[in-house]
Amino acid sequence: VGPCGYSLLKTVITKKGHSVLTAYKTYCYQPLKSALENKLKLPHFEKLSSLWRDRNIPENYLGDIYDGSIWKQFQTVGGQPFLSTDNNYAFMLNFDYFQPYKHRSTSVGVLYLACLNLPREIRFKFENIILVGVIPSLGYNKRQEPPSLNPYLKPLIDDLNVFWKPGLHLKTYKHPDGVM
């Protein structure tokens, strides 16, 4: 039973008569709007994600993503302010497999986002990561990964397109009634 109070696994009997636990949902996806809104409701998140604007870095120094050309290019997009204004965020998409069981070679994949606006030293801390999806192994007792991640990325891309145009109204700690 997961933290939400619902059973996440069901028992399936294999052809050989063995009981195996398997997920009810083959792909657990967390919608980006609710996940980001939960982070933005934390008292510190908005403030910490703006600290990069006040950095004092020597010229020609590359100490973080903020110092690179891509970050600088996204200060404005299409002639409009983007990262240069509050309430706009940049994310790094990460994907990795891990082995949840000690004596089985079954692997589980995870898609997660790190908010690049946060300072480097806290960006990848557990409490600041947004878990997007969990991709189960396609086989029992063997490592069998999907041939393509595209079906698993599609819901995230759909969510990101909604965020991009025209933007989204989200509730935050500083703006409990919401802000674009």
How far, CA to CA in Å, does 41 sit from each of 7, 46, 67?
Answer: 27, 8, 28
In the chain, % helix, strand, coil (3-state, to 5) comes to: 25, 25, 50
Give dist(CA 26, CA 15) in Å, integer.
20
Tens digit of pLDDT for each residue in 153-171?
Answer: 999 999 999 888 777 889 9
The alpha carbon of 161 is separated from its chain's Cα centroid by a whole number of angstroms, namely: 15
Instruction: Grade residue 174 by pLDDT with cuts at 50, 70 and 90.
Output: very high
Tens digit of pLDDT for each residue in 73-131?
Answer: 999 988 988 898 888 899 999 998 887 777 777 778 899 999 999 999 999 999 999 99
Please compute the mean of the pLDDT values over residues 15-27 and round it to a whole number. Answer: 78
The larger pLDDT score, comparing residue 40 to residue 20, is at 40
pTM for the model: 0.78
Instruction: Grade residue 59 by pLDDT with cuts at 50, 70 and 90.
Output: confident
Report pLDDT for 6: 54
